[in-house]
Amino acid sequence: MSGRYVVMGGSGFLGSHLCDRLLGRGDEVVCVDDFSTGRRSNVTHLSDHPAFSLVEADISVSVPVEGPLTGVLHLASPASPPDYLARPLQTLAAGSEGTRRGLELAERHEARFLLASTSEVYGDPDIHPQTETYWGNVNPVGPRSVYDEAKRFAEALTMAHHRERGTNIGIARIFNTYGPRLRPDDGRVVSNFLLQALRGEPLTVYGDGSQTRSLCYVDDEVAGLVALLDADITGPVNIGNPDEYTVLELAQTVVELTGSLSTIVHQPLPLDDPTRRRPDITLARSALGWEPTTGLKEGLTRTAAFFAGNDGATTGTPG
């Protein structure tokens, strides 16, 4: 049975792919975005879709959506480190006020609320790989805290709503995700490396590149999020790809795949940059029957094709 969903942050990288997925299976979608880090171009292909509507609003101020709802998905937050470091207060507001408004909207309509939380709640983890039972190692006053603590607060608020008011909720902890529609100036590692390689510029590895990340292709990530949306568990559930690479390995893979002549240069490591990150997805496998299926090379090839076919390869500044 099809439903009607609000996607807060629906014009962002992940949000827009979620809109596509829900519309593709016959649902109605109301995208709410203030276009601060999301882009109109991510949803222009949907503008004539009869089941799609767009509301321009800052979700930390209001979520002006009327009519019946099946679910409210909260994807509205700056998510790239350069983005949230440039918007500390907006990021905290999206996690706190935005989450509260989304929860209240869901509660009013007896809809399910899906929170896009993050592997950043684990901070620089002492436990590896990270299981959902690990409480994390976060610097509460460091520059990254505006994102980490906003998401940790959002999780606490979401659980409190569920416990006190019985709101139907699900919490996804999203690990590093990449794919088409990453903004060229997003500043994240995959967009930076691919664009640098395509432009023949040096790839900027921060630190010695021994830090690790586990990268999930966007189609896999969205399938996991929708599986959690359709399930009746609260989570939190890790949704990510457990294949782990050092940042240096990633840079070398990008150079190889693109056939680029780019060199690799080292730049200073950002403060509190987590040294390693890898999801334990046992829970997602057993409770959602989900696991990623797209390998790194395949995902990078598709993402490179997106950048090569877009203005991204020649304009915009990798951050």
* Site map (CB under 6 A) of ligand UDP, residues 58-87, x = contact: ----------------------xx------
Q: Is 213 helix (H, G, I), strand (E, B) or coil?
A: strand
3 state SS of 172: strand
Q: Check binding of 204 to ligand UDP (CB under 6 A).
A: yes
> Which residue, 104 or 134, is less far from ligand UDP as judged by CB?
134
Q: Tell me the number of residues near ligand UDP by CB under 6 A.
A: 15
The beta-strand segments (E) located in 201-271 are: 203-206, 212-214, 216-217, 237-239, 244-246, 264-267
- Closest CB to ligand UDP among residues 230, 272: 272
Q: Is 153 in the site for ligand UDP (CB under 6 A)?
A: no
Rounded distance between C-alpha atoms, residue 214 and residue 236, angstroms:
18
Interface stretch with ligand UDP, choices 11-19, 149-157, 268-276, 283-291 (CB under 6 A) = 268-276
183 lies in the binding site for ligand UDP (CB under 6 A): no
Nearby residues of 182 by Cβ (< 8 Å), 6 or more positions away: 13, 188, 190, 191, 303
Binding pattern to ligand UDP, positions 227-266, x when CB under 6 A?
A: --------------------x-------------------
Nearest-angstrom CA–CA distance, 48 and 46: 6
Given the residues 5, 122, 147, 178, select the one marked as catalytic.
Answer: 147
- Stretch of 16-24, 109-117, 201-209, 286-294 contacting ligand UDP, by CB under 6 A: 201-209
Local structure of 44: helix, strand or coil: helix
Rg (CA), the chain: 19
Q: Which of 152, 173, 181, 188 binds ligand UDP (CB under 6 A)?
A: 188
| Residue 100 or 128 having the CB closest to ligand UDP | 128
Query: What interhelical angle do 99-108 and 145-165 show, nearest 10?
Result: 20
Nearer to ligand UDP, 143 or 310 (CB): 143
For ligand UDP, which stretch binds (CB under 6 A), given 133-141, 221-229, 267-275, 290-298?
A: 267-275
Q: In this chain, which of 60, 70, 158, 176 binds ligand UDP, going by CB under 6 A?
A: 176
Residue 139 binds to ligand UDP (criterion: CB under 6 A): no
Spatial CA neighbour of 6 closest among 22, 263, 169: 22
Is 192 among the residues that bind ligand UDP (CB under 6 A)?
yes
Distance of CA 126 to CAs 45, 122, 191, 247, Å? 43, 9, 28, 19
* Residue appearing with tokens 């949803």: 43
Listed in sequence order, the residues at least 6 apart from 135 whose beta carbon sits closer than 8 Å to its beta carbon are none
Sign of CA dihedral 220, 120, 151, 134: positive
Active site residue 147: yes
CB of 90 to ligand UDP, least distance (A): 17
Map tokens 């009013």 to a residue.
108
Q: Which is nearer to ligand UDP, 52 or 122 (CB)?
A: 122
Cβ of residue 95: shortest distance to ligand UDP, in angstroms?
Answer: 15
Instruction: Say how far apart CA 34 and CA 12 lie, in whole Å.
Output: 10
Nearer to ligand UDP, 31 or 247 (CB): 247
- Residue 3 or 9: the one with the smaller Cβ distance to ligand UDP is 9
Residues acting as catalytic residues: 147
Q: Which residues bind ligand UDP (CB under 6 A)?
A: 80-81, 176, 188-189, 192, 204-206, 211, 213, 247, 269-270, 273
